[in-house]
Amino acid sequence: MADVVTMEKIVSLCRRRGFVFPASEIYGGLGSSYDYGHYGVLLKENVKARWLEAMVRERDDIVALDSSIILHPRVWEASGHAGGFADPLVDCRTCKQRFRADQLAESSCGRKPSKRPGETPDCDLTEPRQFNLMFETRVGPVEDTGSKVFLRPETAQGIFINFKNVAQLARRKLPFGIAQIGKSFRNEITPGNFIFRTLEFEQMEMEFFVPPAEADDWYRYWIDERRDWYLRLGVRASHLRVRPHDADELSHYSSATSDIEYLYPIGWSELEGIANRGDFDLTAHTEASGTKLEWVDSQSGERYAPHVIEPAAGVNRSMLAFLCDAYDEEVVAERERTVLRLHPLIAPVKAAVLPLIGRDAEMAGRARRLYEELRRVASVEYDDNAQIGRRYRRQDEIGTPFAFTIDEQTLADDTITIRDRDSLAQERISIARGREHLLDLLEQPWRSPKPD
Ligand code: ATP
């Protein structure tokens, strides 16, 4: 059966359930900027938490960092961004739209029926010109050239320039990595496709420093490891692929790059890039700053700039992939339901606590007590408003994997039902075991019931 998900359905669900709103909406919106509501924040925080767990908490060889967004302007000269972080831009004099010259084949111009830019004799495209993607701003009250700074377009450079600090203090041996999550900013020529490409976004980047001779092995290791992370969090294997870059696609710093791509409703697109950056960055910053960013082998005394393998993922793009992979519709007892089949560890709310009859003081009281107990260990929601069927559907739409229902029988024998979001199976357990049972459920492996 074909996947029912479309980008329109995701955008509409995100809006309806308060995951994501257009930014500055009351002023007419600001193209391709989004604000995250309650469930969007919880989902995004879960994506970041799972990444930090996999990268830092569960490993001994990676440490965390949080560097500044505004760095010394010379950082971007040394890294090559001031000169080279540009996309080729073309304008159409007829329809007045802008396109990325390297994406003309996938773009459509503003006219109806939609055409590829340059497809008709009326199209009047300019020659491509390079457009730097970095946002500029100023430090201090005086507008002179010395005060010009940039908002970072990637978090990686903040890691490289801290290499010496971390290498001295982290008490690690090579290979070791530095991981950082944070906002990045790019003045994209053609932002769009909801939160896939926006002007500000969050990145999860890790720079793994290795002896040069081991770089190829670690490059392959990180491609596998990162693909596995998405699989472990329930993304279907059929919707993930690894695409090595052709030589002419490689960035100025990279000797090899592979993208992990997800089959979004817009087609296969980059979710994460894994690059072998060689010693480009450490060497460039050593030359530009005069500070030696090198590794001294304590046994041989040998000094060298380690090579770097970088898995660079986007928080928002990952969130979009998780949402697309999870979206499902089905008919149950002649009623249609929309359900987000999110991995329980990614789901914004882990369990809902629902008194069958909200007006029943005893049921509501028991439910409240259970809720107070569960919220100490997980993100849970209490809801006593509306028919139980509507409350279940609301939880299905936000992807809540488990619902605990307190009913008449609870009052008689202290048992509650647990409803499973995916199978709709209901099980009765003792209310006293509620918390323990939820924690057990959250530890179970989970697979998407959607066809792979
Ligand atoms: P693209 O080719 O799609 O522009 P990129 O190759 O320039 O992406 P990287 O510089 O490798 O992207 O950044 C690492 C990750 O950051 C990307 O895989 C993506 O998940 C995320 N990312 C990059 N640009 C954006 C953006 N404008 N909006 C949202 N996420 C982004």
pLDDT truncated to tens, each residue of the chain (452 aa)? 578 999 999 999 999 999 999 999 999 998 889 999 999 999 999 999 999 999 999 999 999 999 999 999 999 999 999 988 888 888 888 887 888 888 888 888 877 777 888 888 888 888 888 888 999 999 987 777 668 999 999 999 999 999 999 998 878 889 999 999 999 999 998 888 999 999 999 999 999 999 999 999 999 999 999 999 999 999 999 999 999 999 888 887 888 999 999 999 999 999 999 999 999 999 999 999 999 999 998 888 999 999 999 999 999 999 999 999 999 999 988 889 999 999 999 999 999 999 999 999 999 999 999 999 999 999 999 999 999 999 999 999 999 999 999 999 999 999 999 999 999 999 999 999 999 999 999 999 999 999 98
Rounded to the nearest whole angstrom, what is the distance from the C-alpha of residue 438 to the centroid of ligand 1? 36
Sign of CA dihedral 32, 85, 106, 195: negative
**Which residue's CA is the nearest one to ligand 1's atom 3?**
270
Ligand 1 neighbour 156 (Cβ under 6 A): no
- Atom number of ligand 1 nearest to Cα 251: 6
- CA 304 – ligand 1 centroid, Å: 30
Q: Which atom of ligand 1 is nearest to the CA of 199?
A: 27
**Number of Cβ atoms within 10 Å of the Cβ of 220:** 15
Neighbour tally for 349: CB within 10 Å:
21
Report the C-alpha gap between 438 and 431 in whole angstroms: 11
Helix (H) / strand (E) containing 195: none
Only one residue has tokens 């809720």, namely: 371
Atom 11, ligand 1: which residue's CA is nearest?
A: 273
* Confidence (pLDDT) at 1: 58
117 phi/psi in degrees, rounded to 5: -60, 130
Task: Report the separation in Å between the CA atom of 298 and the middle of ligand 1, taken as the mean of its atom positions.
Answer: 37
Is the CB of 197 inside a 6 Å radius of any atom of ligand 1?
Answer: yes
CA-to-CA separations, 439 to 107, 379, 421, 436, in angstroms, rounded:
47, 12, 16, 5
267 phi and psi angles, rounded to 5 deg: 110, 180
* Pocket flag, ligand 1, residue 152 (CB < 6 Å): no
pLDDT for 145: 66
| Cα(80) to centroid(ligand 1), Å | 17
Nearest CA to ligand 1 atom 19: 314
> Which residues does 240 contact at the CB level (< 8 Å), separation at least 6?
227, 230, 231, 260, 261, 262, 263, 271
**If you ran DSSP here, which 8-state letter would residue 111 be given?**
S
Contact at 8 Å (CB) between 175 and 227?
no
Residue carrying the six token digits 């459509």: 108
- Ligand 1 centroid–CA 314 distance in Å is 6
Nearest Cα neighbor of 81 from 150, 183, 182, 181 is 150
Q: Within 13 Å of residue 122, how many CA atoms lie on the same side as its CB? A: 8
Residue 144 pairs with which residues in a beta bridge? Answer: none
pLDDT at position 149, please? Answer: 95
